[in-house]
Amino acid sequence: MSDTPGLMIHSNYWNGHLVKIFDNGDHRSLYFGSGHLQSRMSLSRPHELVLSYTRYMAAALFIQPAPERILVVGIGAGSFVRFFHHHFPDCLIDAVDCSAHVIAAARGYFHLPEEDRRVTVHCGDGFQFLQEEARNRYDLILVDAFDDQGMAPTIYDEPFFLLCRERLNEDGVVSCNLWSDDQERYRTIKSTLADFFSGCLTLPVPDRGNVIALAMPFAVPWPQIYLKSRELAERTKRFDFDFKQLARVIKQNNLSMTKRWMARLS
C-alpha cells in the first residue's frame, strides 16, 4: 500500500482537533491532527490487527491466553474490540474513549461491534471510568489512549496505573502502548509500572517510536513465552500474525544470554 493517505472520506473537528479518515486500497485509516496515524483497518478482514504496534500489544496473549473480561482504554477506530470480539466469542468487553466523535467514527466507518451483552462502549475518561464506574475485574487491560499531542495525560499517570492494578485479576495482564520519543514521561511510566507490578516486559516496535509494556501482578511466566515451534505456529495461524517473532522480541529485549538459558530450562 502507498504511504500516501489516499481518498479522504471524512473530515471533522473534535474539541478543536482535526479528525480525518482515508481509504487507500483495502485499508481505511484514521488520522488525528495534521497527519498522526491513529488506526488502520482492512476492509476485507476488519478483525485483523493491521498496524504493527497493535500486534505487539496482543503479545499479552502469551501471558493471558484466554481472557474472559477485557477493558480497552482508548477505542480509536476499534481495532482491539473487533479483534477480541472475533477471536474470543465468549469474552466480555468494556471499551472506553473520551471522544463521542471518535466513537461515532468507529461505528460509522470502522465496523465497531454493536453494543450487546458482550460489548459495552463508554464515552468518558478512562481514569474516571476505573475510579467511578468499573464494577468488574479484568483479565486483560489494553491501554492505547492517545490524542494529537501524544499520550493522554489523565491515563498515562500513576493514579491510573494504580487503579489498573486494583481492577486486574490475579492472573491478568496490562498491555500499554507507550511513546518512547517522550523520554522523560516514558521513563517515569516504566518506573511506575515496575513499582505497581511484579512482572514487566517491554517490546520496542520496529521502525516506530512505540514501545509496548506488558505488566502483570506476578513474576514473568517464561515457560508461556518459550513455547514449542508447533504451538507458536498454531497461534500464528489462529490470530494471523507472527507469534514466533513476538517471542523473539520479548526474549531479546528482556533477558540477558544467561537468563535466556535459565528461562528455557524453567
Q: By CB neighbour count within 10 A (0-12 exposed, 13-18 middle, 19+ buried), where does 85 fall?
A: buried
In a domain, 102, yes or no: yes
Indicate the number of domains in the chain.
Answer: 1
Does the residue 37 lie in any domain? Answer: no
Q: Residue 19 is placed in which grid cell?
A: 479528525
139 CB burial (10 A radius; 0-12, 13-18, 19+)? buried
Residue 200: name the closest of 179, 226, 221 by CA.
221
Confidence of residue 153 (pLDDT cuts 50, 70, 90): confident
**What's the CATH code of the domain at 200?**
3.40.50.150
Q: How far is it, in rounded angstroms, from Cα 42 to Cα 143?
A: 22
| 0.75 exceeded by pTM | yes
Mean pLDDT of 100-110: 93
**Cα angle for residues 236, 42, 250 (degrees, 5° grid):** 35
Q: What is the pLDDT of residues 232-242, one digit of tens each?
A: 999 999 999 99
- Residue appearing with cell numbers 495482564: 173
Domain that holds residue 119: 46-265
**205-243 tens-digit pLDDT:** 998 889 999 999 999 999 999 999 999 999 999 999 999
Q: Which residues contact 191 (CB under 8 A, 6 or more apart)?
A: none
Kindly state whether residue 24 falls inside one of the protein's structural domains.
no
